[in-house]
A and B are shown apart, each in its own frame.
Chain A
């Protein structure tokens, strides 16, 4: 049976991990290979490296990160942040990434999803969507509405999340990384309604992101929330929860995980 995935997300900047595990006994918390090894040992099913470099030169260093991690840690790697062209994707995939995650570049040029999936296959292409619930003008009777935000959630594109998710998949995205700007950083649980709605709309896997704080949050989103995977950062980096205890809990709750 296909297992539900638990995915830690590491922020990288200018070739270094700037948000990762915070253990006291780390030799070098900024070393991507050491970070990957720790998460590999803990039972992570996949790693996401999110490149938050502000400059072109900074973005180039993510290729070195992928190469050094992939050479030594044999687990699935996804890279996102700052990817703009098919050539950027190619460089990352050749360096050892299994999937690339595209966000604003796909909004600016949706054809990028077509080009990328034809070139590398849909299974390599993740569409990242940052969603925020927006008020519907009509009435309380109308269904909940979410819009696509960019620039770390500051800017509203006005694009409907459900329409964009559906279109992104038909253009070639093979997975959706769905972050709720409403629940992100609050640690009060994943966005169940958003995730459930998107996951029921598309037939590609959906990774839920934003809001993990307690062990039960993972069971909720991977169970009733219909997510194929749950992504989290702080809750694992700060050792509020360990991946192995999360998986143990999920297994006891009857959710298929790789123990």
Chain B
């Protein structure tokens, strides 16, 4: 049977590409903010494009914030881009914002004066540990990034991959079955689809 995935619709950014990519790798996807549909799903995906505050507000206004927060610890859950950042405690993007607080750590802006911001384009993953989410993905594999802020987790043992841009930052995180990915798997061609397929089949 196909895995049923609730793609949380908080009204901010491009959710359509994520929806289509999940469908291509075999998921039965519902783009939804309906609590009944979310509760009935096997797995959850939290996308996010735009600013941290807008995405948190969108989630709050959709009335699903508390539900998402509680289900994230019970079911396989994947946050993408700002959706990954929202898993952490705080972000300093345009003021100070509280995140979902599911993972200890913070979100800050790239600072190095030697690099161009945003971090836009294809960069490599440096995978720290063998993990079902990254089956078929290797150190040196390229994924597409487009962001100015990055996550700094407190628990380094949760880091599944790092990426180098000015400094080394956490590009993929996983704790139990809660995952976050800073790059855009829905825009990273075969490598991105492989990560989504792993989440759908094994996550």
Contacts and interface: CB of A to CB of B under 8 A. Distances in A.
Interface of A: 1-5, 40, 45-46, 67, 70-72, 74-76, 93-99, 118-124, 174-175, 203-205, 228-229, 258
Q: What range describes how many residues of B lie at the interface?
A: 35 or more
Interface string B49-75: 111001000000000000000000000
B17 A204 contact: no
Given A120-B50, A121-B50, A74 B192 contact: yes
Nearest to B147: A123
B31 to A, nearest CB: 12
B120 A96 contact: no
A62 to B, nearest CB: 15
Nearest to A73: B189
Given A93-B13, A203-B116, A205-B121, A1 B164 contact: yes
28 contacts: A2-B121, A2-B165, A3-B121, A3-B142, A67-B16, A70-B16, A71-B20, A74-B186, A75-B187, A76-B144, A76-B187, A98-B14, A99-B146, A118-B94, A119-B50, A119-B54, A121-B49, A121-B51, A122-B118, A123-B118, A123-B120, A174-B120, A204-B116, A204-B117, A205-B116, A205-B121, A228-B116, A258-B122
B51, B118, B121 pick with most chain A CB within 10 angstroms = B121
A70 B20 contact: yes
Top 6 nearest A-B pairs (CB, nearest first) are: A123-B118, A258-B142, A258-B122, A3-B122, A123-B146, A71-B20
A174 B124 CA distance: 21
A97 B113 CA distance: 29
Contact of B118 (A94, A204, A229): A204
Given A120-B49, A121-B49, A70 B17 contact: yes
Interface in B147-203: 147-148, 164-165, 184, 186-189, 192-193
B49 A74 contact: no
Contact of B16 (A75, A94, A203): A94
B118 to A, nearest CB: 4
A45 B191 CA distance: 13
A29 to B, nearest CB: 23
A99 to B, nearest CB: 8
A75 to B, nearest CB: 6
Contacts of B147: 123
B123 interface: yes
A76 B16 contact: no
B132 to A, nearest CB: 21
Contacts of A71: 16-17, 20
- Max count, chain B CB within 10 A of own CB: residue among A75, A122, A123: A123
A45 B124 contact: no
Given A3-B122, A174-B148, A203-B116, 14 more contacts: A1-B123, A2-B122, A2-B145, A3-B121, A74-B20, A74-B24, A93-B49, A94-B16, A98-B146, A118-B51, A123-B120, A203-B115, A228-B116, A229-B121
